[in-house]
Structure 1
Amino acid sequence: MCNDNQIRILFLTAEPSDTARLRLGRELRDIREKLQLSEQRENFLIESRECVRPGDVTQAIFDVKPQIVHFSGHGTNTGDICLENELGTIQPVPPGALAALFRLVAVHVNCVVLNACYSDIQAEAIVQHISFVIGMKTAIGELV
């Protein structure tokens, strides 16, 4: 149950079937575990959405109204984030599209974490609207 004083974290994952496996459930489990071990655990609520498609991202943000959005998945060297399409394969999302979404929800989202290869390009677009954004400059290793 969420109260108004809790920081809401929305954890989004996409692992299209035509990409390498990342074990994103393990990342979510590790984050939940660290939050649970924290003395401040009552101050956080984490909700997750897996296998997200572009419309799922928008709906989840409007439903959860998170202060922190954490995306884990694949990214391309051109800065696209790889979500899933209706068939479960790659649906690239260019930096401008995510930035436009975050412009609309900047009233409650104040931090975005992009755990995906080459997501610094997305981060640079999103930071125009959100104060704190973390992206990755290069390819990152798989969680195995």
Structure 2
Amino acid sequence: MMNDKEFAKAQASIMNKKTKLVQLKDDRAEACKKINEIEQEIAKTENELLEEENKFILLCGQKSQLMRERALQVGAEIEEAIKPQQPVDKLTILFLAANPQDTQKLALDQEVRSITEAIRKSEGRDGIEFFSRWAVQSLDILQAINETDPEIIHFSGHGSEKGEIVLDDGSGNMSMVSKEAMAAAVASASKKVRMIFLTPVFRRRKLRLLSIRLRLLLE
């Protein structure tokens, strides 16, 4: 039979175990609460990380696109810099000459040579195109303008005492054309001509060389 001392000891042990069990259960509840908080923090951090990673990937894509665009731009700039220069707009000069058989012979070939030599020696020679037509008839003027599309027309030959231009009639004889008629014909054929430069030798005036410049407003 259990005595009082043994009874008190057993009773104290049971109470201690109950107290410890309650404490453990409290600790477990606290630990579960802490774990739950940690799980929530983990889920929150994972969401934040995923969002930031997505933003980073988007920024990387945008940066890559910008880098590609910049690379293409730089490539285009380099290609533009190294490609041959486009030809500049050239000044086109059309030289028309007429020296019919029944007129005094003129040194028109020497005149053309002087002009081409002056162009060749000039700094702007690469920007000038020079065309010449010889034994010019009336219809040849329009044809030559259509073929060369000049800015400047230079006529050299004979002129009459009335200020007419002497052209070839196709058979080696003279054909008279007024400066006004020639200007009107040029105006109708081209809107690009800015100047007609005439150097006719007028008869009955000691074959004196006259230079007449007509600036035409061809609108």
TM-score range, shorter chain: 0.7 to 0.9
Is 1:85 the counterpart of 2:169? The answer is yes
Q: Which residue of 2 aligns with 1:31?
A: 115
Q: List, as ranges, runs of 4+ consecutive aligned residues in structure 1 with deviation greater than 4 Å.
A: none
Between stretches 51-60 and 111-120, larger displacement belongs to: 111-120
Q: Pairwise mapping of residues 19-58 of structure 1 onto structure 2 (< 5 A)?
A: 19-58=103-142
Q: Secondary structure at the match of 1:116?
A: strand
Assess if the C-alpha contact under 8 Å between 2:149 and 2:190 holds in 1.
no
Over the aligned positions, Cα root-mean-square deviation in angstroms equals 2.3
Gaps (5+ residues) in structure 2? 1-86, 203-208
Q: Pairwise mapping of residues 1-144 of structure 1 onto structure 2 (< 5 A)?
A: 5-117=89-201, 127=215, 130-131=216-217
Q: TM-score, normalised by structure 1?
A: 0.78
Gaps (5+ residues) in structure 1? 132-144
Give the helix-richer structure, 1 or 2: 2
Identity %: 34
Q: Secondary structure at the match of 2:162?
A: coil
Give the strand-richer structure, 1 or 2: 1
Write out per-residue CA displacement over residues 7-65 of structure 1, whole angstroms, 9 at most, x where no aligned residue: 00000000000000111010001000010001110010100000000000110011111
Q: Secondary structure at the match of 2:201?
A: coil
Q: TM-score, normalised by structure 2?
A: 0.53
Q: Which residue of 1 aligns with 2:10?
A: none
